[in-house]
């Protein structure tokens, strides 16, 4: 493995830790939402936060995948900007 490929693999590993953190944050938001009154503002905010976290997580998953596959152009963005 070349130095550049090794660096990308190392970065992908570190980002896996961030993915786990995002998962934990999303689960916490979902727990908060499910514990409260379904019609409360706090529940709505928690669900909105969970949705936003999952969107960020999916974007980061695409970045990790791009780092691992190594076949993408370095000019191609990790996030497609959808959403």
> Is residue 26's pLDDT more than 50?
yes
SS (H, E, C) 32-68: HHHHCCCCCHHHHHHHHHHHHHHHHHHHHHHHHHHHH
- Confidence band of 2 (pLDDT split at 50, 70, 90): confident
- Report field, pTM of the whole predicted structure over 0.85: no
Q: Give the model's confidence band at 75: pLDDT under 50 very low, under 70 low, under 90 confident, else very high.
A: very low
């Amino acid at each position: 493995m070349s130095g550049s490929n090794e660096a990308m693999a190392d970065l992908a590993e570190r980002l896996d830790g961030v993915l786990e953190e995002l998962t934990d944050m999303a689960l916490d938001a979902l727990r908060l939402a499910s514990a409260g009154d379904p019609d409360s503002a706090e529940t709505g905010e928690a669900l909105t936060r969970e949705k936003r976290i999952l969107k960020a997580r999916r974007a980061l998953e695409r970045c990790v995948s791009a780092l691992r596959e190594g076949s993408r152009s370095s000019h191609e963005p990790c996030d497609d900007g959808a959403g």
